[in-house]
Homo-oligomer: A and B are copies of this chain.
Amino acid sequence: MNNKLLCDIGNTNFSFSDGKKISVEYFDIASIKEKVYYISVNDYWEKRLSMQENWINLRAHLDMSKYYKTMGIDRMMACEAKENALIIDAGSAITVDLVKDFKHIGGFIYPGLRALEKCFKDISPALDISFNFDIDLDKMPKNTKDALSYGAIAPLLSHIREISKNVPVLITGGDASTIAPLIPNAKIEHDLVFMGMKKILEGKKIC
């Protein structure tokens, strides 16, 4: 079981459980002969891989009734990984999902940090800065760079504090290491999506 090859296909990358990350633009299907258990938020690749015998889409094995129809399959898999948690996936968007007793209570979507920087820049050239989170979030900012950095993260942190009472906060995604130090007791778990995929594989005995 531990050696099964898993793959999480996003909009820009194939991420494999053996650590490989390959751009969706440069991926050669024929280069992989072994069985791959995958999920994909990328329609093009999901359709293309459905014609490959050795690529097994785990979407078909998930109880979709636990989630809402347009929710990303990667978010669902991260939720499958835990019995009780607030799961933050900090990527191009930041998704925040609450799971209690293996049930998805609901979740919200906040812009990713790069998207927020671009958003401020699009509002006005005067707001074109790179965030600096090495600031004292207990003090109201007194310059533009801090005002934007604080504005990007302090509201999100306040809300996470409110909704994470009595559940562990787990963070995954490319910006996990930026956000985790700002949340007391938050834990980075980079492999949350793969953990969920493994649970589905084991539970359904698809091996």
Q: Note all chain B residues with C-beta closer than 8 A to A118.
A: 119, 122
Interface contact A68-B142, CB-CB below 8 Å: yes
Closest to A160 in B: B155
Complex CA–CA separation, A33 to B201 (angstroms)? 78
A29 at the interface (CB under 8 A from B): no
Q: How many of A's residues come within 8 Å of B, CB to CB?
A: 48
Contact with B along A122-140 (1 / 0, CB 8 A): 1110110000000000011
How far apart are A85's CB and chain B's nearest CB, in angstroms? 13
Bound-state CA distance A94–B60 (Å) is 43
Residue of B nearest to A148 (CB): B109
Residues of A within 8 A of B (CB): 11, 68-71, 92-93, 95-98, 105-112, 115-116, 118-120, 122-124, 126-127, 139-144, 147-148, 150-152, 154-156, 158-159, 161-163
